[in-house]
Amino acid sequence: MSTGATPTRDDLADMLYDLLALTTLEPLPAGAPITGLPGRWSPRPDGERGARVELTDGEHILVDGVARTGVVDVDLSDPRTSRSDALALDAQRRIVVWWFPDASGGQVWVGMTTESAPRLRDFQGISTYPVDDGWRIPVSFTRVADDEQLPSVERFSTGESTPVERVGWFEAVIDGEPYRFAVDRNPRYAYVEFRDAGSGVESYAATRAVRIFDDPADVTVLDFNDAVVPSCAFNPRINCPLPPRGNWIHSVVRAGQRDVLFAPTATDEQPAPGPGS
């Protein structure tokens, strides 16, 4: 990313490209317009995951490069699929339909990406810490009891919240201090969100997370070298989740992804309401 050229979709994974190129993002309404997009947007009437847009006379969108009018459905029912960018306004502006999971079943958001987006232009990569075996922390897992009711919510930097599935806790000791890390889950993976003494000083401020693709009960080591920055680090239109207080680490965690790098000319955009990472 050091050539000075704006990265293309071929340079980046599709989802990362979309995060950087995103210029608008709104929750799917019921039969209402989306800013900057033609038609009226709604959830799919069959109840499946996805979206429907109803285009009026004179309106059209491109679907895989072919102009379409009337009613167009976007299918996200495949559990392996969380986004679609098959729709576009023209060669430069794509319509992204995104499904963001939560404990209430998830929500579909619709946005637009453009190749001239400032954050895409100014993106310089992701900084990481060197691998440190000292941040492979032994843990023991305690699962939430079947009869235990947890009013668990994930809070965001905007003051909003959304329900999450709390599956249990990892107990660990870091620099002689005991911790009980909350472990949450979405339909794709479990995760531990955390802040540390370096957050906002030498790493991304709001949160980082370690994702767990195995059953947490089988995990005996929590590897902070696998820590990743959240989606909101790439674009302030995405809500930033805030980790629960028990997941705040008093040491500096110098492991995993550190922050997202932008050229000094990057537009200082203000956070707007959006889904969490």
Global confidence as pTM: 0.82
List the chain domain ranges. 14-116, 127-260
Q: What is the mean pLDDT of each run of 10 residues along the chain (277 residues)?
A: 56 82 86 89 86 94 95 86 87 89 74 92 96 98 78 55 84 98 89 97 96 96 97 88 93 98 68 54
Q: Which long-range contacts (CB under 8 A, 24 or more apart) does 140-146 make?
A: 140/170, 140/171, 140/172, 140/220, 141/168, 141/169, 141/170, 141/171, 141/183, 141/216, 141/217, 141/219, 142/168, 142/169, 142/171, 143/167, 143/168, 143/216, 143/217, 144/168
In the prediction, which pLDDT does 49 show? 86
